[in-house]
């Protein structure tokens, strides 16, 4: 029993040290690869680019589509989590529980899929990146590692793939269409959306202006 306790203690200390070291490292260096990328059978197309080379419309689009309270919370949207729990309790589909910070933590350090164990690790890494990276770096990493299409990662690679241009030159509508596809990038069309997806992209595009007027992206650029 003592051997087991010592082993578990050392494993815990090792995990804490490793996780802290990785978060500190990626505060300054580009994330080279993620578990999701390595497990992608379609290969990897990516092109890391600094946030200063990504049009502000893209930042506003993902805030409008994914996390309207990005600049207000400390990593977790309690209201969204409560709604997700209630939906799960009633047997409904869980929607909107994860913030951009949580998605960044998952995408960089963990794997896709659910489960309480992964959610626990996700929460730990979310706290770390909120405290160490800050909002601007979280947004920069998110926009560089998020899957934007089949075998395509990051908004720069996505912009080149869909619009033959740099992420620095995206229009609000183009940014909105990319943001609309983020939840299901392998299934949702960016270039020629139809029906609900086209309307959803138009809605996000309209919200981009509101994000700017209300300063919902202020924590990224101040």
**Please, which contacts does 204-210 make with residues 24 or more away whose CB atoms are closer than 8 Å?**
204/61, 204/64, 204/65, 204/176, 204/179, 204/180, 205/61, 205/172, 205/173, 205/175, 205/176, 205/177, 207/60, 207/64, 207/65, 208/57, 208/60, 208/61, 208/64, 208/172, 208/175, 208/176, 209/172, 210/64
Residue 91 has pLDDT above 70, yes or no: no
pLDDT of residue 141: 98
pTM above 0.75, yes or no: yes
Residue 94 has pLDDT above 70, yes or no: no
Q: Are 161 and 46 in contact (CB under 8 A)?
A: no
Greater confidence (94 vs 147) lies with: 147
36-83 pLDDT tens trace: 999 999 999 999 999 999 999 999 999 999 999 999 999 999 887 777
205 — pLDDT class (breaks 50, 70, 90): very high
């Amino acid at each position: 029993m003592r051997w087991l306790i010592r082993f578990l203690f050392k494993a815990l200390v090792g995990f804490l040290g490793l996780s802290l070291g990785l978060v500190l490292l990626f505060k300054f260096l580009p994330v080279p690869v993620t578990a999701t990328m390595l497990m992608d059978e379609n290969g990897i197309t990516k092109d890391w680019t600094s946030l200063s080379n990504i049009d502000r419309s893209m930042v506003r689009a993902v805030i409008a589509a994914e996390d309207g309270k990005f600049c207000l919370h400390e990593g977790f949207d309690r209201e969204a989590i409560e709604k997700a729990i209630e939906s799960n309790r009633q047997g409904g589909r869980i929607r909107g529980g994860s913030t951009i910070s949580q998605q960044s933590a998952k995408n960089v350090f963990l794997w896709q899929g659910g489960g309480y164990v992964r959610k626990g690790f996700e929460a730990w890494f979310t706290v770390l990146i909120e405290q160490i990276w800050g909002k601007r770096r979280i947004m920069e990493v998110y926009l560089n590692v998020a899957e934007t299409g089949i075998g395509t990662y990051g908004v720069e690679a996505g912009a080149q793939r869909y619009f033959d241009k740099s992420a620095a030159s995206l229009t609000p509508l183009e940014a909105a269409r990319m943001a609309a596809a983020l939840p299901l990038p392998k299934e949702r069309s960016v270039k020629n959306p139809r029906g609900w997806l086209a309307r959803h992209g138009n809605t996000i595009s309209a919200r981009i202006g509101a994000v700017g007027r209300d300063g919902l992206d202020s924590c990224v650029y101040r």
